[in-house]
């Protein structure tokens, strides 16, 4: 069962129906396979300036150690963990350990669209 089918079952149980505009997004954009709320939360996670910056750095560099990310943003590592955990919960970032060091990278999901998002932003900035 895909995300959309799970959501439809839950909505049917409580008798909730989505307005037509939401239904169009779900069928036309999300192909009735992805969950609208989940995708909106994913974009919301990306929209915070620190997280947006972290995603950009990861999209450009690939894998980055937590200490390097902290240095690049002039923040303590502990201050970034909330942001990195939010991105991980949204399915956008993965991490692994290299000895005692945490290394972060874009998730396979994020690799499919985050670099294109930043290319589009860059194209807009060049057109201004």
Q: Which of 16-25, 53-62, 115-124 has the lowest mean pLDDT?
A: 16-25
Which CATH number characterizes residue 83's domain? 1.10.10.10
Q: How far apart, in whole angstroms, are the C-alpha atoms of residue 5 and residue 11?
A: 10
Q: How many domains does the chain have?
A: 2
Is 20 in the same domain as 76?
A: no
pLDDT of residue 8: 59
Tokens 């005692």 correspond to what residue?
A: 100
Domain of 86 in residue numbering reads as: 43-127
Q: Kindly tell me if the per-residue pLDDT of 14 is higher than 50.
A: no
Is 49 in the same domain as 80?
A: yes
The predicted model scores a pTM of 0.80
Q: Which tops the pLDDT comparison, 10 or 14?
A: 10
Is 26 in the same domain as 47?
A: no
Alpha helices in the chain (DSSP H): 3-14, 20-24, 36-46, 49-61, 66-73, 77-89, 108-111, 114-127
pLDDT of residue 74: 95
For the segment 92-120, what is each residue's pLDDT rounded down to a tens digit? 999 999 999 999 999 999 999 999 999 99
pLDDT of residue 1: 66
Q: How far apart, in whole angstroms, are the C-alpha atoms of residue 98 and residue 107?
A: 17
From residue 9, how far is each of 18, 42, 90, 104 by CA, in Å? 13, 22, 22, 35
């Amino acid at each position: 069962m895909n995300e959309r089918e799970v959501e439809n079952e839950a909505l049917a149980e409580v008798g909730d129906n989505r307005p037509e505009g939401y239904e169009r997004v779900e069928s036309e954009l999300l192909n009735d396979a992805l969950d609208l709320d989940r995708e909106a939360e994913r974009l919301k996670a990306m929209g915070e300036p620190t997280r947006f910056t972290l995603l950009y750095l990861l999209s450009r560099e690939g894998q980055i150690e937590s200490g390097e990310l902290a240095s690049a943003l002039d923040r303590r590592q502990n201050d970034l963990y909330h942001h990195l955990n939010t991105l991980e919960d949204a399915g956008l970032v993965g991490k692994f350990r290299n000895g005692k060091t945490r290394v972060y990278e874009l998730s396979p999901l994020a690799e499919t669209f985050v670099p294109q998002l930043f290319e589009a932003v860059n194209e807009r900035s060049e057109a201004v």
